[in-house]
Structure 1
Amino acid sequence: MNNDSIPGHLRADCENCYGLCCVALPYAKSADFAFDKDGGDPCPNLQADYRCGIHHDLREKGFRGCAVYECFGAGQKVSQDAYHANDWRDHPALAEEMFAVFPVMQQLHEMLYYLNEAIHVKAAQPIQADLQIAIEKTESLTNLNPASLLDLDVPGHRAMVNDLLLRTSEFVRAKVKKKNQRMKIGRGIDMIGAKLKGADLQGADLRGAFLIAADLRGSNMRMTDLIGADLRDADLSGANLLGSIFLTQVQVNSAKGDRKTQLPPALKTPEHWQ
C-alpha cells in the first residue's frame, strides 16, 4: 500500500468538522481520559471554533485516548454533506440526530478505508472485482440521508465487508512461508505484556489481538494482518512491519517505537517516538 491508495475523504479533516468526536462520543476517566464525559456533552476543551484547546498537549494533559482516535473522515462527511454545513450549535434541533449519525458514518468510513487498502493489494487481485463492488456499495450508503443512515443494518454490511477483508488477508499471508511454526498465535489472542522481542511473527493472523504493552522490539511482523489489533504501549522499536496489512495510523500512534521501526509507506512515524 502507498500513500495514494487511501482517498483523501477517508482521512480526518478537522477544519471541516464541527468537533463531532469531541461531543458525540462518551468516555470514562482512565489512563486514556482525564475525566468522565457523557455522549452528547461537549468536551470542556472544545473551543468556540470547534478546535481542541489542548490538541498539541493531549498526552501530557491526560487525553491519550483522543490522540489515537480516528474518524476516517466521517466527521467532515456528517458535518458538510449529511447536514449541509448546518452545525449543532446554530441548529440545536439537529444535535441529537447528528450525534447518533456520526458513529454510523464512522463505521462506514472505516470499512471504506480497509476496502481501499485491500483493492491495492496485489495478492488480492482474484477478488478485486468483489472489492470494487463493496467499495461502491459502501460509498452509496454514506450518501444516504440521516434517517436512512440510522436505519442501516451496519453489522450485516460489516459481515459482508469482513469476509472480503479476511480473504484478502489469506491471499497475502499464503505467500509467506513460515520458518517458525511453534508459536501459538492467532486471531484475537491475548498477548498483553508478552515478551516477543525478536520474534518471527511474519505472516501471522493478529486480527483483534491484544498486544497491549507487549515487547515486540526487533520482531519480524512482515505480512501480518493487524486489523483491530490493540497495540497500546506495545514496544515496536526496531520492528519490521513492512508489508503488514490493515494497520492504521491510530494503532501506530498508540504504540511505542523508534526511528528504526519500519512501517508501511502509507504510515508516518509518530512524533512521540524517540
Structure 2
Amino acid sequence: MDITARPTGDGDLRADCANCFGLCCVALPFTASADFAVSKPAGRPCRNLDTGFRCGIHTRLRRSGFAGCTVYDCFGAGQKVSRVTFGGTDWRTAPETAGPMFAAFPVVRQLQELLWYLNEALTLEPARSLHTEIRALLTETEALTLLGPDELPGVDVAGRRRRTGILLDRVSGLVRARARTRARTGRRPKDRRGADLMGARLDGADLRGVSLRGAYLIGADLSGADLRRADLLGADLRDADLSGADLTDAFFLTRPQLSAARGDTRTALPAALDRPAHWR
C-alpha cells in the first residue's frame, strides 16, 4: 500500500475514548491482581464496558480495584483503529471484524507510542542535528499505522522499536550533554539505564542529565529529586514517590509512567504532560 504520511500532532497521540470502540477493554487480557479486580482473556469485553463502548466505572476505577486501567494509555491507537483502519464499523455491529480489529489494535498502539517519542525528539533543540533523521523515521512509522487490517499483523514492530531506540539513544546523548554544560560541571553523570533501583533512597538527589532508561524505580523515593534533562524512556516508576521532584525538562516521559507513580502539587512536570488526577 502506497501511503504518504504527515507528521503526527500531539492531539493524534492522545486517547479519544468517544471515538473508540472500547478496544483496550476488549482486545487486551488482564489478570486478577492488585491492578485488576478480576481476570479477563483477550477478546472478551470487560464486564464494565457498556453498550456505548464506554467504561461504566470510569470515575471510580481505582476504588473499584481497576487501578491498572488508570495507568494504561493507547496513545491514540483506539480511535485510529476504530475510525481509520476499520472506517467506523464496530465489532458489535459487524462481528466478523472483531478478530482483525483486536489483532490490529496492539500493533498500532506500539507504533503510536514510538510516534510519541519521535514527536518529542523533534522538540529537543540540542538534538537539532538529528531532526532530519527523526522526521524521516516518524513519517515511515506513521505510514505503518495507516496500513490496512490485513497488512498490520505483518509489521515488524520489534525491528521498528530497535531502530527507533538507536536513534533516540543518540538524541538522549546530545540532550544530556547539554544538561552537563548548563550545570557547569565537569562530571559525567553515571549511566543508570536498566539499573535496579527498586525502593532506592534518592530523595533530593541531583539526577540532572542522568540516563534512567529502562531503570527499575519501583517504590523509589525520588521526592525533591532534580530530574531535569534526565532520560526516563521506559523507566518503571510504579509507586515511586515524585513529591516535590523537578521533572521540568525530563524527556521521553509518558502519561502511563506518571499515572503509575505518586506525586503532589509541588511536582514540576514537562509542559506536555498533565498532573494525574489521583495525585494529592
TM range (shorter): over 0.9
Deviation at 1:219, TM superposition (A): 0.5
Corresponding residue for 2:106? 103
Aligned amino acid, residue 235 of structure 1: D
Q: 3-state DSSP class of the match of 1:139?
A: helix
Corresponding residue for 2:199? 193
Contact 2:75/2:112 (8 A) holds in 1: yes
- Supply the distance in 1 between the matched residues of 2:221 and 2:265 (Cα, whole angstroms): 16
2:39 to 26, 36, 40: 36
Corresponding residue for 1:71? 74
Q: Percent identity?
A: 53
1:231 to 224, 228, 237: 237
Aligned amino acid, residue 248 of structure 2: L
Unaligned runs of 5+ in 2: 1-7
- Supply the distance in 2 between the matched residues of 1:180 and 1:26 (Cα, whole angstroms): 48
Residues 185, 191 of structure 1: alpha-carbon distance in 2 compared, 3 angstrom cutoff: farther
Corresponding residue for 2:220? 214
Deviations 1:221-245 (A, max 9, x none): 1100001111111100010011110
Deviations 1:29-86 (A, max 9, x none): 1111111110001000000000001101111111111001000000000000100111
| Residue 127 (structure 1) aligned with residue 130 (structure 2) | yes
- Supply the distance in 2 between the matched residues of 1:45 and 1:85 (Cα, whole angstroms): 22
Unaligned runs of 5+ in 1: none
* TM-score normalized with structure 1 length: 0.95
- Supply the distance in 1 between the matched residues of 2:24 and 2:110 (Cα, whole angstroms): 13
Following superposition, which runs of at least 4 residues in structure 1 exceed 2 angstroms of deviation? Answer: 176-185
Contact 1:180/1:200 (8 A) holds in 2: no
Contact 1:197/1:217 (8 A) holds in 2: yes
Deviation at 1:249, TM superposition (A): 1.5
Corresponding residue for 2:5? none
Contact 1:6/1:117 (8 A) holds in 2: no
Corresponding residue for 1:159? 162
Contact 1:6/1:113 (8 A) holds in 2: no
| Residue 88 (structure 1) aligned with residue 94 (structure 2) | no
- Supply the distance in 2 between the matched residues of 1:183 and 1:129 (Cα, whole angstroms): 28
Corresponding residue for 1:269? 275
Residues 213, 17 of structure 1: alpha-carbon distance in 2 compared, 3 angstrom cutoff: same
Q: How many residues align?
A: 270
- Provide the alpha-carbon RMSD of the alignment: 1.6
Q: 3-state DSSP class of the match of 1:231?
A: coil
Contact 2:189/2:210 (8 A) holds in 1: no
Corresponding residue for 1:176? 179
Deviation at 1:180, TM superposition (A): 9.7
- Supply the distance in 2 between the matched residues of 1:66 and 1:194 (Cα, whole angstroms): 26
Corresponding residue for 2:26? 23
